[in-house]
């Protein structure tokens, strides 16, 4: 069974640009969550999508947005990038049954210059 796939793995952007990250969950998983990981802030929850609907949301500004498609694939977008957005963005999929058992991808490492 294929795991969670995130693309791209690495990317470099400049301040003010926008970026779109993609996540393909494990087949059959309907929930996709996104996390931001930085050395200073640890693992911060961004949002969770289940069956194309945002079910949970963390405390991030509106520049961070996401969506989920009918095949459960998800994208997150960050607009007007800031230096502080440099981080590892992790996607996790689950069956969505509220058990919290998450399967993580390897992440997309974003560097903002």
The residue ranges that bind another protein (CB under 8 A) are: 4, 31, 33, 35, 42-43, 45, 48, 50, 55-56, 90, 92, 96, 98-107
Among residues 48 and 85, whose Cβ is nearest to another protein? 48
Q: What is the DSSP code string of 40-85?
A: TTEEEEEEEEETTEEEEE-S--TTEEEEE-TTS-EEEEE-S--GGG
Beta 53-57 vs 5-7: how paired, if at all? unpaired
Among residues 52 and 106, whose Cβ is nearest to another protein? 106
Q: How far is the CB of 80 from another protein (least distance, A)?
A: 27
Q: Which two tokens stand for residue 1?
A: 């069974």
Among residues 60 and 104, whose Cβ is nearest to another protein? 104
The rounded distance, in Å, linking the Cα atoms of 7 and 44 is 20
Among residues 70 and 101, whose Cβ is nearest to another protein? 101
Q: How far is the CB of 16 from another protein (least distance, A)?
A: 28
Alpha-carbon 33 to chain mean position: 6
Q: How far is the CB of 29 from another protein (least distance, A)?
A: 13
């Amino acid at each position: 069974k294929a795991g969670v796939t995130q693309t791209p793995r690495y990317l470099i952007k400049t301040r003010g640009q926008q970026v779109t990250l993609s996540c393909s969950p494990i087949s059959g998983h309907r929930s996709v969550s996104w996390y931001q990981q930085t050395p200073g802030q640890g693992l911060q929850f961004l949002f969770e999508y289940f069956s194309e609907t945002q079910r949970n949301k963390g405390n991030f500004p509106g520049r961070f947005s996401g969506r989920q498609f009918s095949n459960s694939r998800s994208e997150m977008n960050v607009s007007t990038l800031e230096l502080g957005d440099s981080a590892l963005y992790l996607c996790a999929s689950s069956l969505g049954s509220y058990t919290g058992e998450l399967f993580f991808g390897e992440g997309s490492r974003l560097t903002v210059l």
